[in-house]
Structure 1
Amino acid sequence: MDGDGAGIFLNGSYGVGKSAVLDHLGDRFAAAGRPFSLFDVDWFHRSWPRAQGDPRNVLTEAENMRAVWANYERVGPRTPIVAGVIASEEDRARYETVFGRRLRIVLLTASPAVSEARLRGRYDEGRQAALDWHLARHEQLASELVSGRWNELILDTDHLAPADVAEVVFHRLDVGPTGTSG
């Protein structure tokens, strides 16, 4: 990533493993001595009520991420590694503006059965409404995301552990131990 200054964006529907892969990709960067900063998009827009004129909280999310990124950049160059959803060119442009760089977008996919099992494992009985919301939407979102021209790499996570997915991303995007990038 240092060679072209790009960041990595782990894109995908609910239950495909974005957050788990994000953690492992951070571990992989650290093991290789590569500076990075992790961003799980969900934690930057979780507030209520939403700002007037921002019904999806995406503008607030972008400003929150921009502020945190500025703090990380202040202490030295690094690769932003982000887990979230890019469903449109507008989304891609917004995130690239936040980080001031091109993002190499990796679409993580999973079969509906695997995504559903992961979602059921994520939410306990007290979070039934959240589970129902995600279950009702994960297949539709997955089908929308797979057609995105912005996805540089598509990985099926059904039979791979998050650490293995991180390893594939690290090497397929040429973020190898030599410090080169593709």
Structure 2
Amino acid sequence: MDAQPADSADLLGDLLADRGVPHAVIDLDRFCQAWPAPEDDPFQHRLLPVNLRAVADNYRAAGLHRLVPAGVAENAAERAAYQDALGMPLRVCRLTAALPTVRARLRTRHEADHGTDSLTGACGGPRNSTSSWRRPASPTSRSTPPT
């Protein structure tokens, strides 16, 4: 495993399923992937907790009380927004990866939208991007990482 939140959440979901625990795995990146983004929120950070709240409410109404969100909380305020949107306590797992892995992943994720000189962008990509976000290929699927 390469410390990618969605892959880690999928693994946790598999473990919960193996134990018969009702749950839902939620990829937070998809909740802020929309175009066009507002001028003052190019990465749609305000949209994510709104969407998360709606989906979490639906899962809880369906009897699923174990939610496994996969994403990044950049700071305590984002973590608090996620917990508030989930409507339940949030346990955070910090994933780490070697710096070359992080660089390769960011380069793969963003070079199509921004060129190789810019590694900016996350949820939703740049404000004027028309290309869609894509999960980077697994490092095991590339013969060599990008330089």
Is contact 1:22–1:83 with CA below 8 Å preserved after alignment?
yes
Structure number with the higher strand fraction is 1
Kindly indicate which of the two structures has a greater share of residues assigned to helix: 1
AA paired with 1:74? A
| TM-score, normalization by structure 1 | 0.56
Aligned length: 121
Determine if contact 2:31/2:51 at 8 Å carries over to the other structure: yes
Residue 4 of structure 2 is matched in structure 1 by 17
- Is the Cα–Cα contact under 8 Å of residues 123 and 131 in structure 1 kept in the other structure? no
Shift, 1:92, TM fit: 1.1
Q: Cα deviations across residues 31-73 of structure 1 (Å, max 9, x unaligned)?
A: 0111111111110001112246544312211111111111111
What TM-score, normalized to structure 2?
0.68
Structure 1 position 123, deviation (Å):
4.8
RMSD value, Cα: 2.9
| Aligned counterpart in structure 1 of residue 35 of structure 2, from 31, 48, 53 | 48
Please list, as runs of the form range in 1=range in 2, the aligned pairs for 1:86-105 lying within 5 A after superposition.
86-105=73-92
Instruction: Show the 5 A alignment for 1:127-146.
Output: 127=112, 129=114, 133-134=118-119
Instruction: Work out the percentage of aligned pairs sharing the same amino acid.
Output: 32
Distance 1:130 1:73 in 2: 41
Q: Matches of 2:116 and 2:6 in 1, distance apart?
A: 17
Q: Which has the higher contact order (CA 8 A, sep 6+)?
A: 1
> Runs in 1 of length 4+ with deviation above 6 angstroms?
none
Q: Residue 67 of structure 1: which of 49, 54, 59 is its match?
A: 54
